[in-house]
Structure 1
Amino acid sequence: MRVGRARGAGEVAGRTPPRRSVSPMSAPKQRERLVVIGGDAAGMSAASQARRMRTPDELEIVAFERGGFTSFSACGIPYWVGGTVDGLEDLVARSPEEHRARGIDVRMRTEVTALDLTGHRVRSHDLDSGTVTWTGYDRLVIATGARPIRPPLPGIDAPGVHGVQTLDDGQALLDTLRKTTGRRAVVVGAGYIGLEMAEAMLHRGYEVTVVNSAVAPMSTLDPDMGRLVHDAMTAMGIRVVNDAEVTKILTGEDGRARAVATDDAEYPADIVVLGIGVRPETTLARAAGLPIGDHGGLLTDLSMRVRGYEDIWAGGDCVEVLDLVAGRERHIALGTHANKHGQIIGANVGGGYATFPGVVGTAVSKICDLEIARTGLREKDARASGRQYVTATVESTSRAGYYPDAGRMTVKMLAERRTGRLLGVQIIGREGAAKRVDVAAVALATGLSVEQMVNLDLGYAPPFSPVWDPVLVAARKAARAVQAG
């Protein structure tokens, strides 16, 4: 992120429909209004940053949130459901009342249902009173997030079937768990959400089955690394069913979910949790004719301004971002990016200058004591981009081998065949494994080769690492593969 003094709106790509100019250099002196759609990470970060930069006399800020909470951690829901986090309030960073005390007009349980770009206004629906209102804006921030994938299967909406996108979803799941006497849980999907919810169900004392449509858990990894996750989950007592497409949710006489069905089998369930993933929530944007990318997210420039629209910004899970390694836009739903987007948008709306250059695709997760990390390209990503590459996989430990509780880990590294440039890293291991991926993320962002990585001056002491850190061992092996041609 780069921040400095305002430099003017400049030109943006695309065709801009007729509208009055509201660039920082030419904005009128009277009070302006910023409208924010979405009250979580990106939206409220943008509103808060804009408020820090401009007073209420200069800028009125109105934020619409269709749910019951603002600035909450969706990433923490599995740990709340599993009992690691004590209560809902621990996941709320700032309440609507706290935002209002800072000069932001937050309107809760109010859904924006239409955008009028020509008239510079949004239509909202108060979900409690039913009131419909039009609200004008000078500047607009779209932070509508993502929606869980919920395939149109028979029984998908039956009682006992739960998604986990919002705090309301988490509370509904907990309420069901308290009323459910059976102890069988089926989790549909084996990505980040699916694995974290499988852990939550284990912690609740459930017998857990994970039904996965891919050949191995964690399709963000290469299959050989995903199989390591499968083996570890099986050792934890989780039944993992791969390469299985769910065809329906079977219900009992009471209408509640009783099993998950595939083409080949039925898996009994007293509770079903959907962890299939998410898609950008861009229904409003599409209807208004805003630019949408190949993955369904809004397209923005480096300042997070929607392409072709000087007075509209977008950020968070509803946008696509540039993958700096692959060189193309992709959709990545992560709170880290959403908060950065909000800070950048707020700085630009407030008269400053900031940019978001892109991502390298770093993510970490865990299931029980197994840590999972990845950054950059998988093998299929490298092939799709036309790159020739080499791979190196090594087994190592999190600490010096003689130090107590040294955990095993596997590191896989991809490098470009001719140049040796690092392309991607995947790590599976126990305590101390996952955050090692940050070294690789920095190497990717700076364009290091695996040979250059070998000589990185990383911290060493027996409680923290072997003499050769596992990432450097993988880099050394990859460098040899590059040299071998």
Structure 2
Amino acid sequence: MSVSESEPDGARARERLVVIGGDAAGMSAASQARRLKGPDELEIVAFERGHFTSYSACGIPYWVSGAVPERDALIARTPEEHRARGIGLRLRTEVTEIDVARQRVRARDTGSGAESWTSYDKLVIATGARPLRPELPGMDAPGVHGVQTLDDGQALLDTLSRTRGRRAVVVGAGYIGVEMAEAMLRRGYEVTVVHRGEEPMTTLDPDMGRLVREAMEGMGVTMVNGAEVTKVLTGDDGRVRAVGTEDAEFPADVVVLGIGARPETTLARAAGLPLGAHGGLLTDRSMRVRGHENIWAGGDCVEVLDLVLGQERYIPLGTHANKQGQIIGANLAGGYATFPGVVGTAVSKVCDLEIARTGLREKDARRAGLQYVTATIESTSRAGYYPNASPMTVKMLAERRTGRLLGVQIVGREGAGKRVDIAAVALTAGLTVDRMTTLDLGYAPPFSPVWDPVLVAARKASRAVEQQR
């Protein structure tokens, strides 16, 4: 097949920005650049291989569950709105090659198969993450679904509408896994979660993950720990009928994969762009790809600076992607902005259970060679005498001699999850646990005990630090 050139050399009188990826980071960068530079100064061409742009992937489990009734509620800005703002958006068009030397990208129309080259003066790579899908027998059978994009969510809903059985197996127990377990519960399915870990939510320490498992079992979810999926079994019709491990089979009418994701850097690797230890693109503080003056990258395809460890880590979250896109757009339009790094804050829920973490786990601290103390406390979301006060458990890690806060994990009911933001700010500011005990937090019986649970944990951690000195 011949590959056409989008324009002859020397035909352009204005700069062209090419964006690969039409979701959070890519379209935030394009929109910010357009706000700062008009169409007469900067042409913007964005490629998106799917049907949708600028949507909340984090909201997909809640759309699948029915808590969010309409798919379009997850879309922040439609393709038509982007085009109306002067962004040349090409849907269902997949970039297949980046030619760094000649400053151009090759793209293929997924409908017609036609390919063409588009040159750029500035390039933004926002290719996101690739969900893990093990190469196991039956993994591509009808009824097995990953959940990464709106297209994926729609495909799963289409399957659910055609499926008579009510047995769902979720493979993996990270954020997506536990959220999809809730979605299947809310749709009336019998849910089994099969995962490799000692406990669910490996972003937590096992003692905190145990609390999640016990709560999910209390909701009626069958939790299968320490189990490696080896195959997906199919029926005579070719559709999924069970998930197999070495020791057992778990009947399934639908299978949802929540195993995790890796940075989608296939294009970047082939183009010789710098990748980190976790496979993500490496950028400087301005989100410029290291060693390349006219290429930027952001979102789930990049590694970020962990402010606690001072090292690059892979922490894919939509909050980071949107901020990075804004920074990229400002910089490529001639402004100046930086992305300082993250502390790894995340929050999730399963029905009424809230799960939150920020900073380091114990194994992160050990791997970094840090000596630390831990403190775990049980408290309530409100004053104990106030109606509907709910329990929560807070675990805190602090550096052994200095008392520097290293990480916090929280598991509880209503009012527990967002308390992690207190710890996130403390981590970013580099506070010690002793300094945290004096924070002037808001108090009233409907909102908190006199001593907020995070501060109670800080007091206990501070005492543990003193005992080690």
TM-score, L = length of structure 2: 0.97
Q: Is 1:328 aligned with 2:311?
A: yes
Question: Could you list the per-position Cα deviations for residues 105-159 of structure 1 after superposition, in whole angstroms to 9, with x for gaps in the alignment?
Answer: 0000000000111111000001112211100000000000001000101000000
1:334 maps to a residue whose letter is L
* Larger displacement relative to structure 2 (140-149 or 324-333): 324-333
- In the TM superposition, what are the counterparts of 1:145-184 in structure 2 within 5 Å? 145-184=128-167
Aligned to 1:16: none
Aligned to 1:85: 68
Distance 2:370 2:22 in 1: 41
Aligned to 1:5: none
2:168 is aligned, of 185, 204, 207, to: 185
Q: CA deviation at 1:35?
A: 0.2
2:57 maps to a residue whose letter is A
Aligned to 1:142: 125
Aligned to 2:241: 258
Q: Residue 450 of structure 2 aligns to a residue in which SS?
A: coil
2:293 maps to a residue whose letter is E
Distance 1:81 1:467 in 2: 39
Distance 1:37 1:56 in 2: 19
2:215 is aligned, of 189, 211, 232, to: 232
Distance 1:461 1:299 in 2: 45
Structure 1: stretches of 5+ with no match in the other structure:
1-28
- In the TM superposition, what are the counterparts of 1:341-420 in structure 2 within 5 Å? 341-420=324-403
Distance 1:154 1:72 in 2: 33
2:332 maps to a residue whose letter is V
Distance 2:449 2:231 in 1: 49
Question: Could you list the per-position Cα deviations for residues 269-311 of structure 1 after superposition, in whole angstroms to 9, with x for gaps in the alignment?
Answer: 0000000011000000000000011101000000000000000
2:165 maps to a residue whose letter is G
Distance 1:330 1:253 in 2: 45
Q: Is 1:300 aligned with 2:304?
A: no
Identify which of structures 1 and 2 has the higher relative contact order when contacts are C-alpha pairs closer than 8 Å and 6+ apart: 1
Distance 1:332 1:154 in 2: 30
Distance 1:412 1:252 in 2: 46
Q: Is 1:117 aligned with 2:89?
A: no
Aligned to 2:423: 440
Q: Residue 484 of structure 1 aligns to a residue in which SS?
A: helix
Distance 1:213 1:81 in 2: 25
Aligned to 2:109: 126
- In the TM superposition, what are the counterparts of 1:441-460 in structure 2 within 5 Å? 441-460=424-443
Distance 1:461 1:369 in 2: 23
Q: CA deviation at 1:30?
A: 4.6
1:279 maps to a residue whose letter is R
Distance 2:223 2:383 in 1: 33
2:96 maps to a residue whose letter is T
2:14 is aligned, of 31, 44, 50, to: 31
Distance 1:176 1:130 in 2: 27
Distance 1:440 1:74 in 2: 25
Q: Residue 196 of structure 2 aligns to a residue in which SS?
A: coil
Q: Residue 300 of structure 2 aligns to a residue in which SS?
A: helix
1:130 maps to a residue whose letter is G
Distance 2:102 2:372 in 1: 52
1:252 maps to a residue whose letter is G
Q: Is 1:291 aligned with 2:271?
A: no
1:38 maps to a residue whose letter is G
Aligned to 2:455: 472
Q: CA deviation at 1:458?
A: 0.2
Distance 1:411 1:166 in 2: 33
Q: Residue 77 of structure 2 aligns to a residue in which SS?
A: coil
Q: Is 1:70 aligned with 2:53?
A: yes
Question: Could you list the per-position Cα deviations for residues 195-226 of structure 1 after superposition, in whole angstroms to 9, with x for gaps in the alignment?
Answer: 00000000000000000100000000000000
Q: Residue 420 of structure 2 aligns to a residue in which SS?
A: helix
1:88 maps to a residue whose letter is R
Distance 2:373 2:72 in 1: 47
Q: Is 1:51 aligned with 2:34?
A: yes
Distance 1:129 1:263 in 2: 44
Distance 2:105 2:45 in 1: 11
Q: Residue 308 of structure 2 aligns to a residue in which SS?
A: coil
Q: Residue 139 of structure 2 aligns to a residue in which SS?
A: coil
TM-score, L = length of structure 1: 0.94
1:233 maps to a residue whose letter is M
2:105 maps to a residue whose letter is V
Distance 1:296 1:211 in 2: 26
Question: Could you list the per-position Cα deviations for residues 366-395 of structure 1 after superposition, in whole angstroms to 9, with x for gaps in the alignment?
Answer: 000000000000001111111110000000
Q: Residue 337 of structure 2 aligns to a residue in which SS?
A: strand
Distance 2:195 2:311 in 1: 28
Distance 2:432 2:204 in 1: 21
Aligned to 2:411: 428
Percent identity at matched positions?
79
1:96 maps to a residue whose letter is P
1:260 maps to a residue whose letter is V
Q: CA deviation at 1:403?
A: 0.3
Q: CA deviation at 1:177?
A: 0.3
Question: Could you list the per-position Cα deviations for residues 77-117 of structure 1 after superposition, in whole angstroms to 9, with x for gaps in the alignment?
Answer: 00000000011111111011100000000000000000111
Distance 1:179 1:31 in 2: 51
Aligned to 1:223: 206
Q: Residue 118 of structure 1 aligns to a residue in which SS?
A: coil
